[in-house]
Amino acid sequence: MKDKKQFLADLKSLIAAKSVQSAAEENAPFGKGVKQALEIFLSVAKRMGFTVINHENYLGEIVCGEGEEYGVIGHLDVVPAGDGWHSDPFVLTFKDGRYYGRGTTDDKAPTLLCLYALNELKNAAPLKRKVRFFVGCNEESGWADVEYYKQKGGAFPKYGFSPDGDFPVVYAEKGPNRAVFEIPYRGAFRNVAGGVAVNAVCAYASAEGVCDEALLKKHGLVGRNGKMESFGKSAHGSYPELGKNAIRPLLAYMRDCGENVRALLSVFDDKTISAVGNETGGATLSPNLIEQTEDKLILTADFRVPAKMRAEEFLPLFDALGVKYALIKGRDPLYVPKDSEYVQKLAAAYNAVTGENLQPISQRGATFASVFENGTAFGPEFPNEDNRIHAPDEFISDENIDRMYEIYLAGLKAVIQ
């Protein structure tokens, strides 16, 4: 790619910005780290000669060209780093052909690559369409950035893509929701807690109470000074089978110690919800957060609904679990006909660069692509690759930086020139 040295310098600065949502401050609705990442990205765009708009540190917008509008949207916020890294997650670290750091794939590097590709096209010839390139700041934690923009009268283009999914191009995405389960609890265990984000498989859970050596061994827990610790493996919440949830073994241990937590265990063990789906995939229910209040245990799950379905259709199945719950609806699934001209143009761009012959796909993850009436996710993950999104040691390979750049260059050229 052109200007790769400068790209890596800009990426290094972005990774160093600890853009995990934190307490709101003046002119920083999602915390200082997120604001810093937005300022860095917009300064890069300004250096390139783009028109830059900062929507009060909720959302950034970069504009070029004239004519019918086309949109691109990525995000600069990241999930918490968590434990298990072999390098500093907020220092871009190169080793064995890979660049490690939180946000290298989700979603700082791909978003920056799109900006670099758009800049090359802008400098090569007049664009036939007006491109509005958005950078969000709250994608991982509720989309308050997008909602704020809409409430202020902002509108998005009809067509656009987000570099925050899978290649070759995603025509359908599951709808993300939350299901919150609770049971009354005043038992023998205290400070029951686990998980870092609802959309990340819980890799660590713990509780304080009785340490029974035999039961600890049975459930793979570690007991230390009256504290039980359960260790799992993180993964994106839409792919729970790729991780190992640490909450279930802890609950099973508590159950075997005589605690009445069977209702919460039934959430993990139920197979009826995940059995529902269609040609775009099946539903997923991943309980990734647990907390204890004075008189309750609360379990929060990532719940994904297949395209062309609605969360309300699953209410009878949740009722059948027999545990008190609240379904917090997020967004309806995304669906654009995969044989539409727009989707096929992006697929053709991918195939032309890679020499493959892949067809548009559906995916489990939900992206900002749904802000567009006809939105798609366009990369950055290649088929059969695991970039450890939402997990320790997230990375992007040096080879894929070059490949992605060429794909985004070809994709943007196909839809805006």
Whole-number pLDDT of residue 169: 98
Give, in degrees to the nearest 5, the angle at Cα 410 between 417 and 65.
35
pLDDT above 90: residue 417: no
Instruction: Specify which residues 131 forms β-bridges with.
Output: 64, 70
pLDDT band of residue 96 (cuts 50, 70, 90) is very high
Whole-number pLDDT of residue 97: 98
Domain residue ranges in the chain: 4-174+333-416, 176-328
What are the CA-CA distances from residue 198 to residues 180, 303, 356 (Å)? 10, 9, 35
What's the mean pLDDT in 57-73? Answer: 97
pLDDT above 90: residue 14: yes
Three-state SS letters, the chain:
CCCHHHHHHHHHHHHHCCCCCCCCECCECCCHHHHHHHHHHHHHHHHCCCEEEEECCCEEEEEECCCCEEEEEEECCCCCCCCCCCCCCCCCEEECCEEECCCCCCCHHHHHHHHHHHHHHHHHCCCCCEEEEEEECCHHHCCHHHHHHHHCCCCCCCEEEECCEECCCEEEECEEEEEEEEEECCCCCEEEEECCCCCECCCEEEEECCCCHHHHHHHCCEEECCEEEEECECCECCCHHHCECCHHHHHHHHHHCCCCCHHHHHHHHCCCCCCCEECCEECEEEEEEEEECCCEEEEEEEEEECCCCCHHHHHHHHHCCCCEEEEECCCCCEECCCCCHHHHHHHHHHHHHHCCCCCCEEECCCCHHHHCCEEEECCEECCCCCCCCCCCCCEEEHHHHHHHHHHHHHHHHHHHC
Percentage of the chain modeled with pLDDT above 70: 100
Lowest average pLDDT, out of 8-12, 119-123, 280-284, 287-291, goes to: 280-284
pTM of the model: 0.81
Residue indicated by tokens 């389960």: 181
What's the mean pLDDT in 158-178? Answer: 96
Number of CB atoms found within 10 A of residue 384's CB: 5
> Can you name the CATH fold of 4-174+333-416?
Aminopeptidase (3.40.630)
What's the mean pLDDT in 389-403? Answer: 96
Lowest average pLDDT, out of 4-13, 68-77, 132-141, 328-337, goes to: 328-337
pLDDT above 90: residue 400: yes
What's the mean pLDDT in 308-335? Answer: 94
Pairing of strands 227-231, 204-208: antiparallel
Task: Encode pLDDT of 244-267 as tens digits.
Answer: 999 999 999 999 999 999 999 999
pLDDT band of residue 184 (cuts 50, 70, 90) is very high
Dist CA 340 CA 233 (whole Å): 39
Whole-number pLDDT of residue 207: 98
Of 366 and 16, the structure prediction assigns the larger pLDDT to 16
Task: Encode pLDDT of 104-117 as tens digits.
Answer: 999 999 999 999 99
Residue indicated by tokens 């669906």: 335
Whole-number pLDDT of residue 32: 98
Of the candidates 416, 415, 407, 413, which has an alpha carbon nearest to the alpha carbon of residue 383?
407
Mean pLDDT of the chain: 96
pLDDT above 90: residue 393: yes
Whole-number pLDDT of residue 320: 95
Instruction: Specify which residues 216 forms β-bridges with.
Output: none
What's the mean pLDDT in 305-321? Answer: 95
Dist CA 68 CA 77 (whole Å): 29
pLDDT band of residue 365 (cuts 50, 70, 90) is confident
What's the mean pLDDT in 235-243? Answer: 91
What's the mean pLDDT in 77-90? Answer: 95
Dist CA 245 CA 204 (whole Å): 8
Whole-number pLDDT of residue 280: 87
pLDDT above 90: residue 349: yes
What single-letter amino acid sits at 281? G
Whole-number pLDDT of residue 147: 96
pLDDT above 90: residue 181: yes
pLDDT band of residue 279 (cuts 50, 70, 90) is confident
Task: Encode pLDDT of 203-224 as tens digits.
Answer: 999 999 988 999 999 999 999 8
pLDDT above 90: residue 135: yes
